[in-house]
Amino acid sequence: MKWMRFRVRTNEESEDIIISYLEDIGLEGAQIEDNAPLSAADKEQMFIDAPELEPDEKDTGIDSGVAYLNFFLEIDDENMLTVELPDENGEYVQEKRTPEQMQAAIREKLDELKSFSDIGDGTISVDVTEDIDWINNWKQYFHKFYIDDILVIPSWEKETEDDKDKAEMVLHIDPGTAFGTGMHETTQLCIRMLKKYVTSETELLDVGTGSGVLSILALMFGAKHAVGTDLDKCAVPAVKENMENNGIAADKFDMMIGNIIDDKAVQDTVGYDKYDIVVANILANVLVPLTPVILNQLKKGGIYITSGIINTKEEEVKKAHLDAGLEILEIHHQGDWVSITSRKN
């Protein structure tokens, strides 16, 4: 299997906003290199629209503030790339792109960003790489960390005595390659809202649950029961493993696969007027069509927590809340990201 890598040269401050913008054209997830100038060896292997490196980069190998974002797409035998893009209902459909079309789409997005934000060079290089051990290579970058007083730790690391003294709660997480770890700002914004609003009677719906981080923590905060939905079947074993790692009983957390936005069967199975809290940590362009639908699942007085919102799309998601008749309770920011929490009255 071969992969095409699209490598964007930017600055550290623009990493999140570029990743968010490129998700709109089907590039999901990025390998980030901070302060790593493009080498001469790299340039020899690529067709590239980047300028020559400055003398200080060539001589010292140091370029403070420079970052590289690497996006990978599988390339087939016909030299075509497959991307998944949301339709008007928020459901993801596959489309084929040539490498040239993909590079042009990236260029268009970067130029859009340049019109209102300093993203540095914003230059793109493209190359082909052989199959990579995606399943295990990411583990070298994921280490234990804290979200306030919560210690998040993978199975291959151990708690220290200092951790035991410092942590009020420990979340054991093995996210796999496609799911969240809790490290991202959007997840942390949701966690703080869950910690505030969860009670012992909480019925929780987690839309786009992924590895189950938010649902599992809500249950650890004392929630009565959680339901998670996701589009990816791989979420099911990921959630099951993380439940077991954290001692969550099987009857506390139900998982289902499907698109709650437009699939009536999923909506019926999830149920109506039954959730005290709905949390959705998804992209803004999915939150907008999701919001009017999710009113049917929320109880009267229920809390709706949304995140995954880059700051440039805050007003768009805020409008979706208001148009649905929700009362906005809190808006919080962390880095370039936003969470909006509302109530159904």
* Binding site feature residues for S-adenosyl-L-methionine: 187, 208, 230, 281
DSSP 187-207: HHHHHHHHHHH--TT-EEEEE
In the DSSP assignment, the letter for residue 37 is: P
CA 281 centroid distance within chain:
7
Instruction: Taking the CA atoms of 210, 211, 214 and 218 in sequence, report the sign of the dihedral they define.
Output: positive
H helical segments located in 246-334: 264-270, 284-294, 314-323
Residues making up the binding site: 187, 208, 230, 281
Give the integer Cα–Cα distance in Å for 34 and 17.
15
3-state class of 50 per DSSP? Answer: coil
239 sits in which H/E element:
helix 235-245
* Amino acid in the structure at residue 184: H
Instruction: Taking the CA atoms of 260, 261, 264 and 270 in sequence, report the sign of the dihedral they define.
Output: positive
| Cβ-count burial 220-239 (b if 16+ within 10 Å, e if not) | bbebebbbbbbbeeebbebb
Give the integer Cα–Cα distance in Å for 332 and 50.
37
Confirm if 167 and 150 have CB atoms less than 8 A apart: yes
163 sits in which H/E element:
helix 161-166
In the DSSP assignment, the letter for residue 80 is: -
Q: Return the ∠ at Cα 279 (arms to 164 and 264), rounded to 5°.
A: 140
Q: Would you state the structure tokens that stand for residue 320, as one six-digit string?
A: 């979706």
Give the integer Cα–Cα distance in Å for 218 and 23.
27
Give, in order, the Cα–Cα distances in Å from 274 to each of 188, 217, 220, 242: 25, 20, 20, 25
